[in-house]
Amino acid sequence: MCYNDRAMQTRFRVVALIGKYKSPEILPSLLALADWLAGRGLEVVVDTLTASHATDLPLRVLSLDDIGREADLAIVLGGDGTMLNIARTLAPFDVALAGVNVGRLGFLTDVSIDTMFETVGAMIDGRHIVERRMLVEAEVRRDERPVLQTSAFNDIVVSKGAVGSLIEVQVRIDHQFVCALRADGLIVSTPTGSTAYALSAGGPILHPSLSLLTLVPVCPQTLSIRPLVVSGDSMIEIEIIDARDARAHFDSHSHLELQEGDRIVVRRCAHGVRLLHPSDHDYFHMLREKLRWSERPGR
């Protein structure tokens, strides 16, 4: 189950720093944080892609898989997209993740770079909230053979391509027929992804502690078809019935051109993501701030 645990404390020994891809401008902040952590007696490592932006980096360089095996905590300096990519890779190792926001929204990377040392220091000392979030895995089957297996933290999207024609799919949940859908697309979203594309398409916001999935149609031809919320333990099958130019996207990190008869099977992953938040983290305050719920019209 997903949960928040304000009491859980972890002793950190090895901390990995991972920077936003192709963003050498974050190196000064990353190196300053590395020096500060080393001064706290922690071993600091960095991933290979971040290290490629610097010469004579005074840190041990590891692949992401090695970071998963060795690090107790990975601090991501970037935006939500960077965190999504790193979370999928490190989730099987159950490495704790914290994010310093140098992007735009910062739903997942909620440590301000302006208070980075103070906030990270409190986290290292055990003053943090631990939150476990679900991942989903997907298998695309063609002629009953798997052609792609991958995972997603936000969502899996089946959508029309460049031709612009509607796609037609059949949806089953736990082998039970749900509907035939003609639409621009269909989004299967985790609670984390409920504030991303699914929200823009009219889906509900799910609290991240919930074990739920949403199916959100994108511009359906039949207007009575509405978003559907199901158990996080459900198995969702999407069969492509008519698709002259259909594609499947997985967190936008990978995609696959689809053919008629393809089936996308979506399940909950056996492992999840362990996020650390500052001790004063308030999910609803974050929503008000990021989605500007409290702004008055005209201001």
* Residue 182 included in any domain: yes
For the chain, what's the residue count? Answer: 299
Mean pLDDT value across residues 269-296: 92
Dump pLDDT digits (tens) for 201-255: 999 999 999 999 999 999 999 989 999 999 999 999 999 998 888 999 999 788 9
Question: For the residues 25-49, what does the mean pLDDT come to?
Answer: 95
Domain of 106: which CATH number? Answer: 3.40.50.10330
Please check whether residues 106 and 49 belong to one and the same domain.
Answer: yes
pLDDT of residue 51: 92
Looking at residue 21, what is its pLDDT?
84
> Is residue 146 included in any domain, yes or no?
yes
156 pLDDT exceeds 60? Answer: yes
116 and 202 both lie in a single domain: no
User: Quick check: is 298 in a domain?
Assistant: no
User: Do both 249 and 219 map to the same domain?
Assistant: yes
Residue 34 lies in a domain: yes
pLDDT tens-digit profile of 3-35? 344 334 458 999 999 999 888 889 999 999 999
109 within a domain of the structure (yes/no): yes
**Residue 166: inside a domain:** yes
Distance (Å, whole) CA 200 – CA 87: 23
In total, how many domains does the chain have? 2
Domain shared by 139 and 266, yes or no: yes
Query: What is d(CA 166, CA 225) in angstroms, rounded to the nearest whole number?
Result: 15
Regarding predicted confidence, which is higher, 116 or 57?
A: 116
Q: What is the CATH number of the domain that holds 167?
A: 2.60.200.30
Task: State the pLDDT at residue 8.
Answer: 43
Same domain, 58 and 119: yes
Share of the chain above pLDDT 70, in %: 95
pLDDT score at 6 = 37
Sign of CA dihedral 148, 139, 243, 153: negative
Among the listed residues 47, 80, 110, 262, the single catalytic one is 80
pLDDT tens for 53-90 read 877 788 999 999 999 999 999 999 999 999 999 999 99
- Neighbour-count burial of 222, counting CB atoms closer than 10 A to its CB (0-12 exposed, 13-18 middle, 19+ buried): exposed
151 with 222, same domain? yes
Is residue 24 within 8 A of residue 53, CB to CB? The reply is yes
142 shares a domain with 89:
no
At 297, the pLDDT band (50, 70, 90 cuts) reads: low
Predicted local confidence at residue 3, as pLDDT = 37
pLDDT at 298: 61
H or E element in which residue 46 lies? strand 43-47
Greater pLDDT, 123 or 294: 123
Mean pLDDT of the chain: 92
Q: Which residue has the tokens 């949960």?
A: 3
Residues 117 and 160 in one domain: no
Is 186 inside a domain boundary? yes
Residue 94 is among the residues annotated as catalytic for this protein = no
Start-to-end C-alpha separation, the chain: 41
- Same domain, yes or no, for 175 and 103? no
pLDDT for res 62: 97
Q: Residue 174 corresponds to which tokens in the numbers above?
A: 């736990």
- Domain range for 62: 4-127+279-291
In a domain, 299, yes or no: no
What mean pLDDT do residues 253-279 have?
A: 95
Give pTM, 2 decimals.
Answer: 0.91
The verdict on 37 and 145 lying in the same domain is no
Please give the pLDDT value at position 299. 56
Please indicate, yes or no, whether residues 122 and 226 belong to a single structural domain of this protein.
Answer: no
Same domain, 101 and 161: no
